Structure 1
Amino acid sequence: MTTYKTLRSYEANERRIEKARQKSIEIQNAYKAVNDWKNYILTLKTIHLKSSSVVDWNKIKNVEKPVQPKREYKNEDFAKNQLENFKPSILDKLFGLIPKKINNLKELLEQAKVKDENENDVNFKKYLECVKNWEKLQEISIGVEKNQIESYKKALEYFNPFSKIGEIGNEISINLDNEFIDIYLAINSLDVIPDYELKQTSTGKLSKTNMSKTRFNELYQQHVCSCILRVGREIFAHLPYKYSRINATTKIVNCQNGNIEEKLILSIIFSAETMQKINFGLSEPLDNINHFTSNMSFNKINGFNPVNRVEFNNR
């Protein structure tokens, strides 16, 4: 084989290798894109599974006051021991290094004292913060036990279960009563749902198709139900209410005038007793919603329709 043919063969082989490498990268990228899409879809329907643990107010009430830390002088004791037990070597004596080394040890002792003071000050400040936090929780827990509305408000402010409101909606309004809690949630709009589906073909390529209208609407319904369940679970996790009413609003098209308006699409009354019996990980959000009294008008073709608020006397 001539040098020219050898070179051509080598170049062809390199192109095949590069082509195979590019194909492998495309397959990996397609797999990642599909996997990310699937995970996002799953996240939309499982927001309620990430709710907070139940706050044990009785346990909080019985927590003992933090003990003031004793001031410690570990660094000073160590440096002092080094100074007191200093034994000069023959070289120290020979070159007259004893005074210098003693002075160095004395300086280290002073530095150790400062370090101890700083550490003790830091520990004391932490203690004061712990006491302040303990006193605040004690006050809240006593108020919660007495069903005081103001204490309920402070409990929600303290634990702030809706700090990441963007996960479930744009705005939340909470009205507290002695017997129940009433919440309005401006829930995520339809924009949160992707209008496409990603799949990987048998050859490993990425396939992107339009999501059907029915699946799009059903997915949004599951997302709305998941967000509502999350709000209900958070409330019962932090406050000893027996009932809570959650009202979800979103922007939908008014069929009469064609305008996009903020409308109530789901109103539900949750029971804490029923909520405790549900294993949320075993069923879809919509199935969980069906355990409770609610107003919801939905069809697969047009999605949500406006509804009236469900009343507590209907539970």
Structure 2
Amino acid sequence: MATLNGAIRSYGAAVRRMEREQQRNARESAKRFKEQQKLEEIENAQQAVSDWENYVDTIQSLHKNCTEQIDWKQIENTKKPIEPLLDSKNEVIAKSKLNNFKPSILDKIFGSTQKKITRLNGLLGQAKIKDQKTYDVNYKEYLDELNNWKELQEINTGIKNNETDFYKKALQYFNPFSDIGELGTQISFNFEQNHIDIDLHVNSLDVIPDYELKQTSTGKLSKKNMPKSRFNELYQDHICSASMRIAREVFAYIPIDYARINAVAKIINTKTGHLEEQPILSVIFPPETIDNLNLETIDPSDSMQNFVHNMNFSKTKGFSVVEKVELER
């Protein structure tokens, strides 16, 4: 049976596999961190330190991973799947054996001719069933691929026509934000013709470890409270890294001019004294500026200086509420 080639195989399958792998890595890192928090005594000091370091690296390195740029032209040129035909090869073989059956002298002597013919007829029936089952599986795969092909073609046409509903459908189809969600972050977004406005509902401070693990020269585990300034800086890096990652994922799928990412967190409203969701970071990311950065070596927080942004942060107090950056007109 002919299967979808090119884009659907590359993007519908490979991209999703990569996203699942990233999601799995983030999930495992978060899981090990949570398990570590519950342990009163940690037996394997070296492994504990390694898990802690990996988790800390994960939460401030989200911007380094991103889906490859989607080639919508390649998707557009992908051929429509071909409907499979019923392949009766097993039936042909079984029918040939039945038609070519010639009873031997012993068959005639012992009267087993009819028994063997009945058996061959039974095998013929089984062969037909086997061929039909194979066809049914192939046809189901064909329908799945056809639906995928139709959906991607529809999305591609909508994107070419700058229809914002299809921008949203593209993100829903590929679901590129899965591994960020594993760390507790959720997003809501609104598309305009040339940009996207995203509210990033960020993690509570619980996502940041409040302790540091180190292995002493004697091999023992040293666990100390993380300094408040270090804790706040790590949280800042996490928020900035997640914000840039969100923008990069959008640009990988959608040809828009810029993305405004608003990191929103529950923070005390000094007027009411209550916890309320308010912006703590607002950034306008143009794709070309991100492309010019060395994402492997940048400090996520320092890199915000490359963009129009609002962020009020201090090492001692952490984030303060800011206004959303005004969108370009």
TM-score normalised by L of structure 1: 0.83
The aligned runs of 1:236-255 (5 Å cut-off) are 236-255=251-270
Moved more, 102-111 or 285-294: 285-294
2:54 is matched with: 39
Structure 1: gaps of 5 or more residues:
1-25
1:54–1:238: 8 Å Cα contact kept in structure 2? yes
For residue 69 of structure 1, the aligned residue among 59, 69, 84 is 84
User: Structure 2 vs 1, CA of residues 309 and 27 (structure 1 numbering), >3 Å: closer, same or farther?
Assistant: closer
2:114 is matched with: 99
The aligned runs of 1:271-282 (5 Å cut-off) are 271-282=286-297
CA–CA distance in structure 1, aligned partners of residues 168 and 272 of structure 2: 40
How far 1:122 sits from its partner (Å)?
2.4
2:314 is matched with: 299
CA–CA distance in structure 2, aligned partners of residues 226 and 284 of structure 1: 9
2:191 is matched with: 176
- 2:75 alignment partner, SS class: helix
How far 1:198 sits from its partner (Å)?
0.9
2:183–2:207: 8 Å Cα contact kept in structure 1? no
CA–CA distance in structure 1, aligned partners of residues 215 and 110 of structure 2: 80
1:280–1:288: 8 Å Cα contact kept in structure 2? no
1:265–1:306: 8 Å Cα contact kept in structure 2? yes
For residue 174 of structure 2, the aligned residue among 144, 148, 159 is 159
Moved more, 181-190 or 163-172: 163-172
Moved more, 66-75 or 209-218: 66-75
| CA RMSD, Structure 1 to Structure 2 (Å) | 2.4
Q: Are 2:234 and 1:228 equivalent residues in the alignment?
A: no
CA–CA distance in structure 2, aligned partners of residues 62 and 263 of structure 1: 45
CA–CA distance in structure 2, aligned partners of residues 163 and 31 of structure 1: 30
Report the residue type matching 2:252 in the other structure. A
User: Structure 2 vs 1, CA of residues 178 and 87 (structure 1 numbering), >3 Å: closer, same or farther?
Assistant: same
Q: How many residues align?
A: 289
How far 1:215 sits from its partner (Å)?
0.7
How far 1:259 sits from its partner (Å)?
3.5
User: Structure 2 vs 1, CA of residues 27 and 148 (structure 1 numbering), >3 Å: closer, same or farther?
Assistant: closer
Q: Are 2:280 and 1:265 equivalent residues in the alignment?
A: yes
1:138 is matched with: 153
Report the residue type matching 1:290 in the other structure. Q
TM-score normalised by L of structure 2: 0.80
How far 1:216 sits from its partner (Å)?
0.4
1:248–1:264: 8 Å Cα contact kept in structure 2? yes
CA–CA distance in structure 2, aligned partners of residues 213 and 256 of structure 1: 25
User: Structure 2 vs 1, CA of residues 114 and 298 (structure 1 numbering), >3 Å: closer, same or farther?
Assistant: same
Report the residue type matching 2:132 in the other structure. E
How far 1:27 sits from its partner (Å)?
9.1
CA–CA distance in structure 1, aligned partners of residues 58 and 175 of structure 2: 21
